Amino acid sequence: MLKGHREVLVSRETIAKTVAEIGAAINRDYDKNTDRPLVVISLLKGAMVFTADLIRTLNMPVRLEVLVASSYGDGTVSTRQVNVKYQSFDSLEGCDVLLVDDITDSGNTLKAVGAYIQQYNPATVRYCSFLDKPSRREVDIEIDYIGLDIPDEFVIGYGLDYAGQYRELPDICVIREGDAQ
């Protein structure tokens, strides 16, 4: 449980508006005249909630896949080592892949996942991150779709966890070391 006051950083209303804007940009960008399927790959578990909202704003056929990437342990500091696990019976060969993550911090996760997915020979790979902490970037990566830039704070809610908790919160809230118990 959180002790005392919980500070909302991004309200559910702003979340909904931002998801709609990202979806509109994706709808504008992808060429509906190709017969390449758009494969949305959601990075578990953090991006589950965002991905569920995002795909329902898209006006093209979507194939949904999931991938597990982990770099954070139970704490709030990245270990830089990214473990990637992707498994599907369906091929990515010749597909337009959109990698969807909840938040980008150092950029190590999206960079590692992007490199990993190349072995499946997709036609294109683009990146989408609901939140971004640009001040924390350690690697050079161009993210095609970003919802909101946020300051260097640890956030929870809307799929984002602290030690496995708080993913169910409908708003995105700031948590500081010492707030959790």
Residue numbers annotated as active site = 105
63 vs 35: CA distance, rounded Å: 13
**Phi and psi for 106 in degrees, rounded to 5?**
-70, -25
Task: Report the residue count for the chain.
Answer: 181
Q: How far is the CB of 99 from Mg ion (least distance, A)?
A: 11
CB of 110 to ligand 5GP, least distance (A): 6
Least Å from the CB of residue 32 to ligand 5GP: 30
**Subset of 11-40 contacting ligand 5GP (CB under 6 A):** none
Distances (CA, A) of 148 to 3, 65, 79: 27, 24, 24
Interacting residue with ligand 5GP among 100, 128, 156, 172 (CB under 6 A) = 156
Would you say 72 or 120 has its CB closer to Mg ion? 72
Question: 39 or 103: whose CB is closer to ligand 5GP?
Answer: 103
Per CB under 5 A, residues contacting Mg ion are: 46, 72, 161
Whether residue 14 contacts residue 171, with contact meaning beta carbons closer than 8 Å, is answered with no
For position 72 contacting ligand 5GP by CB under 6 A, the verdict is yes
Q: Does 104 bind ligand 5GP (CB under 6 A)?
A: yes
Q: How far apart are CA 149 and CA 16, in angstroms?
A: 16
Does 96 engage in binding with ligand 5GP (CB under 6 A)? Answer: no
CA distances from 97 to 63, 64, 159, 165 (A): 9, 10, 22, 29
Distances (CA, A) of 32 to 37, 38, 65: 9, 10, 20
- Residue 4 or 164: the one with the smaller Cβ distance to Mg ion is 164
Q: Rule CB under 6 A: is residue 157 a binding residue for ligand 5GP?
A: no
Contact status: 42 vs ligand 5GP (CB under 6 A): no
Question: Under the rule (CB under 6 A), what is the footprint of ligand 5GP?
Answer: 46, 71-72, 78, 101-109, 154-156, 160-162
